[in-house]
Amino acid sequence: MAASPGVIHYLQSSDAVTHAVAWVLLAMSVASWCFVFVKSWMLVRAKRQGPRALVQFWQARTLSDGVASLRRADRERVFLPLAEAALTSAEADATGVLSARVDRGERVLRALRGALVVSQRRLEFGQVLLASIGSTAPFVGLLGTVWGIYHALGSIAASGQAQIENVAGPVGEALIMTAFGLVVAIPAVLAYNVLGRLARQLSDDLDGFAHDLHAYVCAPQGEPRRQHDNQPAQSGAR
């Protein structure tokens, strides 16, 4: 209870620079927490839905059916861009255009690479914000502390009362800004590490999915896909 009047008294007696630093730290804190909640929701849902969505995709009879099932299961649209890129490149007619001179496997690889970049950028979106807040918030708080100490010492010198009890109070209150900076920075750094780990795990899953899609689309026409499609007809003939 004793710390609260000190904080209030410091903010009430401080100047515009200290108020500006306090507002910047508050904006950083609000931005980081809002982003943490939204990003955590998206990554956790994608992590939970991913395995089930991929199982449903590979259990589909055709690539088009797999993309349709992935649209229903992958609500965060993490794996869906790769499947759509594979379907588009598989059905594309490159006759009469420059890409016709490029090997089909290379065209598929280029399409999957572009979709993979889109998905990875979505997973990593906002990480720079957390890293920036985590690295700069302590220094912003330190700036408020230095300015507050300068302001307090100037006021004490103007009053002519330089006893230790008159110096310790204002200087101690100015140190609150450093604590505010740490309070803003520590959750941002922790969230950056946790969310970055989730994003890397999903990125590894995306790499594996892209490799499997490339192998499927570029497989010889008469092999795995035709055998898979003819399997129900053979069982019916029996």
Walking along the chain (238 residues) 10 residues at a time, the average pLDDT comes out as 53 73 92 93 90 89 88 88 86 57 75 90 90 93 84 69 62 80 94 93 91 84 46 40
- pLDDT value, residue 230: 41
Whether the predicted model's global pTM rises above the 0.95 cut: no
- pLDDT value, residue 2: 42
- pLDDT value, residue 148: 78
* Phi then psi dihedrals of residue 205, to 5 deg: -65, -40
* H or E stretch at 74: none
- pLDDT value, residue 74: 86
Q: Which residue has the tokens 């009047």?
A: 5
108: amino acid identity, one letter: V
Neighbouring residues of 100: CB distance < 8 A, sequence distance ≥ 6: 94
DSSP string, 77-95: -SSHHHHHHHHHHHH---T
- Strand ranges, E, within 58-201: none
How large is the C-alpha radius of gyration of the chain?
29
Rounded-to-integer distance, Cα 99 and Cα 24, Å: 51
Rounded-to-integer distance, Cα 183 and Cα 72, Å: 41
- pLDDT value, residue 226: 42
- pLDDT value, residue 168: 62
